[in-house]
A and B are shown apart, each in its own frame.
Chain A
């Protein structure tokens, strides 16, 4: 079985083709085969975020080009495709819409069934497939979502989550404060700056059980930036010069990462302890961050467990995860929709999906 996956819930347009060989799902040694996985990202200028309208336009412009390229790379014909999977939500309305229109069009053009996929479930299923983690606690961290998830009784249940803004959003917004580039991703550039950071500044640490709050940290790091940096990002010269070395943008990025990631690791550890699990899987764009993976690894090791992460091909939004999760659903009839009903929804909780393909 072969599925085409279309993802466009935020600023990345991702197209992927996946194959589940015969016996997939029954025989654990049979793995899914990635036929192609390509992506094009809408990058907004430094200091700005991506707006729904511009992002939707970007997706419309690139969709056909990317689909053609994906089919070519995969070496399969559109005739071999068994279903077309698209992101139903959650995400930004306009970009989701653009991609859904493309999915409906292809479905009618090729006469293939349509499968609507929950974006978060896409991340989780792809992470499990790539890493082989069987029943891990999942930390899902991206620009729009921060969730600690555990599987029970055919649902991905949300244990803990961000009470206000998502962790990726916090990083992205601080990148705007520092006016650093959004290319390839604001979080990536913060990660590089943080490597040079030395001084740990005190930031609020807001863990409530398995939930986190990040808006207080953002406000606080923003005001530290105003206090220590000139508008052009260079350290302020104070008179008289301070005895300690001046605070640099790197120190700020370092402090921000250390604090945010400690909170994420801590809440994940709480969930692991609560359900007696020793595996962690990190998915979502922020999951690419090597410092986060390192911290999570140390925690898991101290609990006698291990951490599973993926690289940017699968962590960052992509089409292959939509194809994969869609195909898992398709095999049991979950998520299959008629063209007339193939809409999108900005709000779509991870735990709303009936994970019928798992025991």
Chain B
């Protein structure tokens, strides 16, 4: 309701809200980086002439629906500020298995680090203007906008992404196609679409590395594909998520390890997708420009170390 006819700037809305009026009580609205808090942002079409709007806190107790128990967090679908604005709540519950001191330290660190990296990615990707990845066009790469962070409670409210994880896309696609190595392909158009998606994923990772963000946990569950606009199937915007283990670094080694982690996530969950990962690397190398070959060489080293590792029973 509010989203499409915004006339206030994000900043004004935030300034108008006192922290206390938020339904969650305390917490940080990411004030140090206020301009990167993307509230109710309006991506496409110019706003129609706006009727005057009033923002009321009509969402005192937002409904939370658990959608997933992720690798470390509980994910809820909820709303932010108004009942009509969907949001994702990522809560890192305390882990009963680990020592409370260690637990508090890790939860806080991951939460803050994730929020910081999301904001950094948002800013830097915006600056580098990657609006599309891959030759054939298609959406670019982005990360969810951060709305609200409460690191003491281990909570981040962020933009709700309508779409699927790469994991889900691959599961469906591989159910319907024969192994990629076998020829002739059962369903060439689907396979080509899939391969193209892989190249785009490579470019998306390159875009992330180009702004010196290391993901730390690249898996097919941590890459989302936004539901594409009608008429452009398969080419929806790529959304990188789950930056809790991320870091800022420009080292080849860190980048190579990122790729290595993804490679194994690919092979171990989608054994038939081994071939497809090559396309990811093609897209990556191209996207990285000069540094691409360097990281590839490093990746070969990291792989070799991996094979060598299994030395003692």
Contact = CB atoms under 8 A, between A and B. Distances in A.
A348 B308 CA distance: 9
Interface residues of B, number: 37
A207 interface: yes
Which of B70, B98, B310 has the most chain A CB atoms inside 10 A of its CB? Answer: B310
Interface string A147-176: 100101101011111110010010000000
Given A152-B269, A258-B98, A10 B312 contact: yes
Contacts, number: 131
A82 interface: no
B232 interface: no
Interface residues of A, number: 58
Interface in B65-103: 69-72, 95-99, 101-102
Interface in A192-245: 200, 202, 205, 207-211
A116 to B, nearest CB: 13
A295 B245 CA distance: 21
Given A265-B98, A299-B97, A209 B312 contact: no
Interface stretch (B146-154, B197-205, B214-222): B214-222
A158 B264 contact: yes
Interface string B226-269: 00000000000000000001000000000001000100110111
Contact of B312 (A90, A152, A211, A265): A90
A10 B313 contact: yes
B43 interface: no
A302 interface: yes
Given A152-B271, A207-B245, A346 B218 contact: no
Contacts of A159: 264-265, 268
B307 interface: yes
B208 to A, nearest CB: 15
A349 B71 contact: no
B171 to A, nearest CB: 10
Nearest to A265: B97
A166 to B, nearest CB: 7
A347 B71 contact: no
B136 interface: no
A90 B216 contact: no
B312 A166 contact: yes
Given A10-B312, A273-B69, A349-B310, A262 B99 contact: yes
A279 interface: no
Contact of B217 (A91, A202, A208, A258): A208
Given A209-B265, A262-B102, A274-B221, A350 B310 contact: yes
B175 interface: no
Given A207-B245, A269-B72, A90 B310 contact: yes
Nearest to B96: A298
A186 interface: no
A169 B310 CA distance: 13
Which of A87, A157, A273 has the most chain B CB atoms inside 10 A of its CB? Answer: A273
B309 interface: yes
A347 B307 contact: yes
Interface in A1-41: 9-10
B106 interface: yes
B313 A89 contact: yes
Given A150-B268, A209-B216, A273 B311 contact: no
A274 B71 contact: yes
A273 B221 contact: yes
Contacts of A89: 313
Contacts of B310: 90, 120, 144-145, 147, 347-350
Contacts of B102: 200, 205, 258-259, 262
A209 B261 contact: yes
Contacts of A120: 310, 313
B49 interface: no
A144 B309 CA distance: 9
Contacts of A208: 216-217, 245, 257, 261
B99 A258 contact: yes
Contacts of B97: 262, 265, 294-296, 298-299, 302
B98 A90 contact: no
Given A200-B101, A209-B219, A161 B70 contact: no
A182 interface: no
Interface in B152-194: 167
B98 A349 contact: no
Contacts of B69: 273, 303
A158 B308 CA distance: 14
Nearest to B93: A302
A145 B312 contact: yes
Given A200-B102, A209-B219, 12 more contacts: A10-B313, A90-B310, A90-B311, A144-B311, A200-B99, A262-B97, A269-B71, A270-B72, A273-B72, A274-B265, A298-B97, A346-B311
15 contacts: A90-B312, A119-B313, A144-B313, A159-B265, A205-B102, A208-B216, A208-B217, A262-B97, A262-B98, A262-B106, A270-B217, A295-B98, A296-B97, A348-B310, A350-B310
